Structure 1
Amino acid sequence: MQFWKLNKVPLLLTFVSVTLYWFFAYDLIRTEYTKLIVLYSSLWLLFILLLKYAEDNIRLLTIVAFLFRAVFILAIPNLSQDFYRFIWDGRMILEGFNPYIYTPEAFVQTQEFPISQSEELYAGMGQLNGSHFSNYPPINQLCFVIAGLFSSHSILGSAVILRLIIIAADFGTLVFGKRLLKQLDMSEKNIFWYLLNPFIIIELTGNLHFEAVMIFFLVWSLYVLHSGRWKWAAVIFALSVSVKLIPLLFLPLLFWYFKKSNNNNALKHTLTTLNTRVQNNKSITQIESSVISSEVEKSLRPLDFARGDNPIDYKRLISFYSIVGIINLLLFLPFYNSEFITNYSKTVALWFNNFEFNASAYYLAREIGYLLSGYNEIAIIGKILPAIVFLYIIYLAIFKIQVNTKALIKHMLLAFTCYLFLSTTVHPWYVATLLILSVFTNYKFPLVWSFVIILSYLAYINLNSADKSENLWIIALEYSIVYAVFIWETFIKKASSTKLA
């Protein structure tokens, strides 16, 4: 009874949220646009209120976060078809086929059905997905194989296994995210901007996107790296890359992080922890505590960064890169043959040179191309935009010195923001990586984007008409909001703070 009195409002909010999540999971079709927007907006309002009224009740927020995920356990994803391909790849590997060599379409066209429910899976994934070779890295494929092992004849059963893996990954993100926030002297409650976010629950747990697993390994790697155990951090970072290739973008940003003084991170962490324990130990007198704290400060002082006085430890930097590279090569090795590199590179290139969805800068460049040449210049623009992203990342890596983990994460966020702003294809779940990085910074535009990204689903509003293209007015609305908040946080707010200082 006492628990109810203390948590009445959060519990009522939780009950309403569970009801709405149930409708989202089991009673929504993607083309029901009004229902989609109303449900999503309502869940977002409840999310904000829940964070407000639950205050610092971390235990309650944790239980609620996983309760919301549990609602989706028996649901078939209704906003994405990708999971059909996940199931196909996993079952193909168990049958001895290489998913990087064979396309689903090649089997279906010849009326060959190498796995259980072949026709149903192919129909579910669609012709576009089924006509390409797999682009999912090995650890991602391992998740698909696990689903095939436990459920080789049921699509729903496979979906349940995939969902349990994603929920387990989210739990790992909670554990290591909280630890990293604590070490960075930030509020542990920040992790719930990610964990309780309706966008994350719907897109990752609901629609079975494995950014959740990649993010788990990435956050774990950052925590271990901050603690000074760089070799283990490299191993875990490699696993993140082997789920999704996105973390490869962040490797150049580690350039300045491996300054020689940074090798003392573990010692600094130990001394700081010791100082905290001394301060909290009631058996130590105030005088003794002051003396010990003074000695700890003297020990920490030589470990502080002095820009320009600490050369890069190239040995550790190169070793970190080597560990990441070697582990991924070993993971890909079982799938290697003469066709693998050609097929995989062509499949990845599709996201730059062929596919286009929910883009911003690219769509402006495309319109300019139409004006100048009269046709879509994606083949050219798709090469120029990635080059700009690469140059910006190199600029961040060389000219913006990352002297600590906070600065490193900030630059990772800016690098990935540039990548998304200049991409030809921005599916909603891509924003998940941006959102988790923002948890460890003061930036809020990824949070805003995680709300307005639902507008991208309205792009399908024209599919039943003669004009099947995306509704560019809706996309313009989405990006107008995102760019406005980004510019305000990055330039206007920063300039105002500088003037006040």
Structure 2
Amino acid sequence: MLGLTNIFKYKKSTLLFILVSAIFYLWFAYDLVRTDILKLVLLYIALFIFAFRIIKTSGFYFRILVITAILFRLLFLFAIPNLSQDFYRFIWDGRMILEGFNPYLFTPDSFINNNEFPVAHAQELYKGMGSLSSSHFTNYPPINQLCFVIGNLFPGKSILSSVIGMRLLIIAADLGTLYFGKKLLERLKLPSNRIFWYILNPFIIIEFTGNLHYEGVMIFFLVWSLYLLYSKNWQWAAVIFSCSISVKLIPLMFLPLFFWWFTKKQELVASIKKLILFYAITIFTVLVFFLPFFSMEFINNYSKTVGLWFGNFEFNASIYYIARGIGYSITGYNEIAIITRFLPIISVLIILGFSLFKKNITIPKLVTSILLAFTCYLFLSTTVHPWYVGTLVALCVFTNYRFPLIWSLVIILSYLSYSGIGTSDKSENLWIIGLEYFLVFSAFIWEVILKKRLPFL
């Protein structure tokens, strides 16, 4: 094993890449606004290039890469997120719970419009989260809410102190993903260094640690659950999987894909019992997590809010935008209400197809099915925020597919909508979105349909 002296002697280029990347991350964290598109794109691309070189030139030396991953995340510690304003709502929800309010029963508007300020820095948080968030009930599940509460317990009562608290939780989750991801790769006899394509990916560092998106916590529980499942500890795998659902609801759609994992021909009756128990434990645990917030008003508010996010908003879509364009050409109107009736049905059919006709009897096959099913879901969605792609990046390290890495690079193009490039009303430029998805679909077709490896990954 290389000693510290030999690292400086033989890994000078790696250390240089790390140093320059650290400077660029500091620049990104503390001297960038999302409307400064040229700086945003150039820094982002440079960080990707340097991350690629760090992984390659390090010889996958584990200690260097782990220290580097922690360092890059800690550089963001005192920065206010600059690409997303969602964190203001996270702080609001956490402080609401600490003040004894049920966050699912009140919108921020309901307080501020009546000149009521239920939490510290209420006006600043309200202004920061924006009118879209403040006018709706929260849609974040209970474990996510717990993270908001813990973040707000960090010493100090400022917005920055809450940001630091939440950021430390997300960093801890990433380290947990590193730990269980490496162990799972080793158990599967796959190269354990693959995990660094997730851990050192600038997209993951910026979107999760930098912008405080809790997909990183959801992914931690998901990877941990897969590790437990492989270790034949399926009861605890169900509990941990329910934690993943209780951070973000997305893993709910993965449940049908576990069908073949449990259904063995040799012991069909016993296998079906295990499958039913796995589902029962998962759903029961999720319900227990929701129990402290339960009321009929909660059910009404939460179902409406979740429905809004899935059927009323549009951002960075692909197939949906094509369908919308066809609708405009035929009727002259945005037919989102009609289109969103059919696209979810197609998503469900695809998931059922992967569940019933693809035998997911090994972890790599199961993860591949989850990866491809979720990819199709995102292709059919009306809204694809950049951080949604993080789940694909995490899953791909356990498969032979690398198109999510391409997506994690070109997803930066979606942020160009905030500058209104090429438009008169600050809306999305569909040419830019088209370029993003041309590259993503090309990589997807190359790997999944043509079954060829990307030559540079």
- TM-score when normalising by structure 2: 0.96
Q: 1:151 to 1:345 in 2, by over 3 A?
A: farther
> Deviation of residue 469 (structure 1)?
1.8
Residue type at the aligned position of 1:417 = T
Partners of 2:6 and 2:223 lie apart in 1 by 37
Identity %: 60
> Deviation of residue 9 (structure 1)?
1.0
Number of the residue aligned with 2:133: 129
Does residue 311 of structure 1 match 2:268?
A: yes
Does residue 181 of structure 1 match 2:185?
A: yes
More displaced 10-residue stretch of structure 1: 133-142 or 381-390: 381-390
Number of the residue aligned with 1:491: 449
Q: Is the 8 A contact 1:163 1:208 kept in 2?
A: yes
- 5+ residue gaps, structure 1, are 261-307, 496-501
Number of the residue aligned with 1:237: 241
> Deviation of residue 373 (structure 1)?
1.5
Number of the residue aligned with 2:250: 246
Does residue 211 of structure 1 match 2:223?
A: no
Does residue 198 of structure 1 match 2:155?
A: no
Number of the residue aligned with 1:328: 286
Number of the residue aligned with 1:403: 361
> Deviation of residue 491 (structure 1)?
1.2
2:56 to 52, 59, 66: 52
- 5+ residue gaps, structure 2, are none
Deviations along 1:391-419, one digit per CA (max 9) or x if unpaired, are: 11001101111111110000000110011
Number of the residue aligned with 1:479: 437
Number of the residue aligned with 1:416: 374
Q: Is the 8 A contact 1:116 1:152 kept in 2?
A: no
Deviations along 1:336-363, one digit per CA (max 9) or x if unpaired, are: 1121111111111112221000000000
Q: 1:44 to 1:309 in 2, by over 3 A?
A: same
More displaced 10-residue stretch of structure 1: 482-491 or 148-157: 148-157
Deviations along 1:22-63, one digit per CA (max 9) or x if unpaired, are: 000000011000000110011011011111100120111000
Partners of 1:48 and 1:223 lie apart in 2 by 27
Deviations along 1:210-269, one digit per CA (max 9) or x if unpaired, are: 001000000000000001010010010010100001111110000111034xxxxxxxxx
> Deviation of residue 463 (structure 1)?
8.2
Q: Is the 8 A contact 2:151 2:169 kept in 1?
A: no
Partners of 1:463 and 1:482 lie apart in 2 by 21
Partners of 1:101 and 1:358 lie apart in 2 by 30
Partners of 2:34 and 2:132 lie apart in 1 by 18
Partners of 2:422 and 2:124 lie apart in 1 by 23
Partners of 1:433 and 1:204 lie apart in 2 by 11
Partners of 1:84 and 1:483 lie apart in 2 by 34
1:165-176 correspondence runs (5 A): 165-176=169-180
Number of the residue aligned with 2:314: 356
Partners of 1:198 and 1:471 lie apart in 2 by 24
Partners of 2:421 and 2:50 lie apart in 1 by 32
1:460 to 384, 409, 418: 418
Q: 1:132 to 1:192 in 2, by over 3 A?
A: same
Number of the residue aligned with 2:144: 140
Deviations along 1:143-185, one digit per CA (max 9) or x if unpaired, are: 1111222356200000000000000000100000000001111
More displaced 10-residue stretch of structure 1: 462-471 or 74-83: 462-471
> Deviation of residue 466 (structure 1)?
3.9
Does residue 26 of structure 1 match 2:30?
A: yes
Residue type at the aligned position of 1:224 = L
Number of the residue aligned with 2:109: 105
2:17 to 7, 13, 16: 13
Q: Is the 8 A contact 2:152 2:166 kept in 1?
A: no
> Deviation of residue 6 (structure 1)?
1.9
Residue type at the aligned position of 1:334 = P
Partners of 2:172 and 2:305 lie apart in 1 by 29
Q: Secondary structure at the match of 1:339?
A: helix
Q: Is the 8 A contact 1:351 1:424 kept in 2?
A: no
Q: Is the 8 A contact 1:461 1:471 kept in 2?
A: no
Q: Is the 8 A contact 1:353 1:382 kept in 2?
A: yes
Partners of 1:319 and 1:257 lie apart in 2 by 13
2:164 to 156, 160, 163: 160
Q: Secondary structure at the match of 2:340?
A: helix
Does residue 96 of structure 1 match 2:53?
A: no
> When the two structures are aligned, how many residues end up with a matched partner?
448
Number of the residue aligned with 1:3: 7
Q: Is the 8 A contact 2:421 2:429 kept in 1?
A: no
Deviations along 1:459-485, one digit per CA (max 9) or x if unpaired, are: 112289742321000000000000001
Q: 1:36 to 1:426 in 2, by over 3 A?
A: same
CA RMSD, aligned part only? 1.4
Does residue 224 of structure 1 match 2:228?
A: yes
Number of the residue aligned with 2:305: 347
Residue type at the aligned position of 2:121 = Q
Does residue 84 of structure 1 match 2:88?
A: yes
Deviations along 1:180-203, one digit per CA (max 9) or x if unpaired, are: 001111001000000000000000
Partners of 1:419 and 1:48 lie apart in 2 by 28
Q: Secondary structure at the match of 2:268?
A: coil
Q: Secondary structure at the match of 1:333?
A: helix
Residue type at the aligned position of 1:216 = F
> Deviation of residue 64 (structure 1)?
0.3
- The structure having more radius of gyration, on CA atoms, is 1
1:58-77 correspondence runs (5 A): 58-77=62-81
1:363-378 correspondence runs (5 A): 363-378=321-336
Residue type at the aligned position of 1:143 = C
- TM-score when normalising by structure 1: 0.88
Does residue 439 of structure 1 match 2:363?
A: no
